Structure 1
């Protein structure tokens, strides 16, 4: 492929990247540069390594009002078509994204990605909420787009053509100025930027400013209604997390597990009002597996108004040996855990992880419960100490006064 063609294709690939980690897929650079797959991972990429980013996103409406075709609407155009007027409002949010190297096998890496949200800023900043999980599994030379092999970055030429600009530059962030390389693409839909540290390969900053059509909407001039979207993720820090079971032996059933199903309830507690638990279920199907990790497709089902189908939420989940909150832990690695044992406190989020219970369950089987907790939420995961399988979990959102509890009901 000639240099001009590569410039065009590289620009297209970079322009489709959204806030990093949003999909469990390989970095699209692998399509253009197949040799990148065989390059080594940066030496700092080890099981238990955690990257933390401050992330934010906001939608910006084009105007104050939008119009939708409606035969009962009060606004009429020159052709006699009727529209209803709706106020156009933006939305936004911010928080942290944390990426844990959950497993590393040869030249493959499995990443556990956790999103934490908060409201307010500065002194008015509120407690964190657990928004959800995502996953990546692929060649370790590029962990999705959270890092790219420094060896590869060193070979990339500067250029400024076809809507793509690549520039080496100093990049100040916090108390450090990095030797960095910046990728910027522009097209009619918007602008995308990625900045990487040339020495470590880690992503320092990602940002996008794009616009898109709002389905079914029009402006007062009867142009298609659009809204802008701004998003960014900025590197906060990296640290090695050490957990007691990381040197344990994965259970043999890991190689044959096909699916898990959990069932339970979710309840919102409102002072002075009765509690109404709603049935919920989680099905996790194995998509791929290695000796130290599982990649699963998770489907959360929440019951709604009687007579209507339940709502579904789909996500990708990684469960590896070097993480908390997964679907399994090595039995010999958790055998020595004791109630009250402190495991970790994250210096950025303040989330503390500890052992809250060790003993026999109602059926007599030995159980171990781990809890990660902060002022905004707690997540308790109870494991069967003999098999290492996640037997139950409880998530309490202290901002919404909502509690979700589920237990394992089926394995395949």
Structure 2
């Protein structure tokens, strides 16, 4: 059953990543694509509850599919006039807690996205209308209050998307998505939970003076199962910058493990990133000279803290950031002088124990 859930989540995350890479609405409202909306700022985090299932076309769960529930968090790691760099992380549940099951990065237009729209577009809903798309304004009971929303429905062959936006802010508060999954239909829901601004010591600092180049990390991936002999698998991650700006880098990670074909993941690093950044501002890191708590996320229970500040054996001044909530633990070690990520340790749960990834900077 766990494999079914992971497969369903992968399909959902693939669909969401494709949505973020290009918005349906950009061609409808090209004049609004640029210019951040008033509520956008580096360090903003949007949290959504996500439910997904593979259904029979006649109704009911598929015999070969599965279902899953989790939390998707979208972090605005950088915001510019014509782009926003977004890191999305999907948290799954295991052992009574949340852990990051998958993540990806994307560049979005600040004014138009599937996940938000400039409220100006709601002044003329007829612009949404086409052979397969309709829009209507309506009141909606949500979170104990009545919101004025705009519901947009678009349909295709075996597909259906229903977007519900808050009319005042333009933010997506509900999404229904139906897409084919073999002979079945995958049905997914996203429902808005909260928005908050993470108070980061490095949020308003500039990026490092150096530019990212092709980088290689190497190490091991170990699956721990009680009572079984564990053999670490050799692992390498090639990091290739695809596009850069004054406050972000769009990055391709090529992940190679012994005996497994390489996989590719697109991610981002930006000036207001709290997890998994390949660089942080050196000036801000130099101010983090003691063990301290940076953030506590009220949705996932994840605590981000400095757990080490000092010299390594080779004399490098370093800072280690740790994220954990009792279910998983990720650690990131940064060179204080350059801001560069030099070591990663990821400890995630499996059904019986936990898996560990350790990677060190090679070049």
**TM-score when normalising by structure 1:** 0.79
**Once the 2 structures are TM-superposed, how far is the Cα of residue 405 of structure 1 from its aligned partner?**
0.4
**Once the 2 structures are TM-superposed, how far is the Cα of residue 158 of structure 1 from its aligned partner?**
7.7
CA distance in 1, matches of 2:124, 2:311: 57
**Once the 2 structures are TM-superposed, how far is the Cα of residue 386 of structure 1 from its aligned partner?**
0.7
Give the corresponding residue for 1:209: 178
Give the corresponding residue for 2:320: 369
Pairing 1:111–2:86 present: yes
CA distance in 2, matches of 1:363, 1:153: 59
Q: Does the Cα contact within 8 Å between 2:25 and 2:114 map onto a contact in 1?
A: no
Q: Does the Cα contact within 8 Å between 2:28 and 2:127 map onto a contact in 1?
A: no
Pairing 1:129–2:99 present: yes
Q: Which runs of 5+ in 2 are unaligned?
A: 1-12
| Equivalent of 2:47 in 43, 49, 52 | 52
**Once the 2 structures are TM-superposed, how far is the Cα of residue 23 of structure 1 from its aligned partner?**
5.3
CA distance in 2, matches of 1:30, 1:228: 27
Residue pairs, 1:281-320, within 5 angstroms = 281-304=236-259, 310-320=260-270
Q: Does the Cα contact within 8 Å between 2:36 and 2:79 map onto a contact in 1?
A: no
Give the corresponding residue for 2:8: none
| Equivalent of 1:180 in 136, 145, 149 | 149
Bigger Cα displacement from structure 2, 190-199 vs 144-153: 144-153
CA distance in 2, matches of 1:186, 1:378: 41
**Once the 2 structures are TM-superposed, how far is the Cα of residue 247 of structure 1 from its aligned partner?**
2.5
Distance change in 2, residues 1:241/1:252 (3 Å):
same
Give the corresponding residue for 2:361: 408
Number of aligned positions between the proteins: 346
Give the corresponding residue for 1:266: 221
Give the corresponding residue for 1:337: 288
| Equivalent of 1:30 in 14, 20, 26 | 26
CA distance in 1, matches of 2:19, 2:164: 19
CA distance in 2, matches of 1:238, 1:189: 33
CA distance in 2, matches of 1:361, 1:298: 27
SS at match of 2:272: coil
Give the corresponding residue for 1:141: 111
Give the corresponding residue for 2:303: 352
SS at match of 1:35: helix
Q: Does the Cα contact within 8 Å between 1:128 and 1:376 map onto a contact in 2?
A: yes
SS at match of 2:97: coil
SS at match of 1:29: helix
Residue pairs, 1:7-18, within 5 angstroms = none
Give the corresponding residue for 2:5: none
CA distance in 2, matches of 1:350, 1:269: 24
Please provide the CA RMSD for this pair.
Answer: 2.3
CA distance in 1, matches of 2:204, 2:36: 21
CA distance in 1, matches of 2:239, 2:124: 41
Is the radius of gyration larger for structure 1 or structure 2? 1
CA distance in 1, matches of 2:357, 2:32: 43
SS at match of 2:205: coil
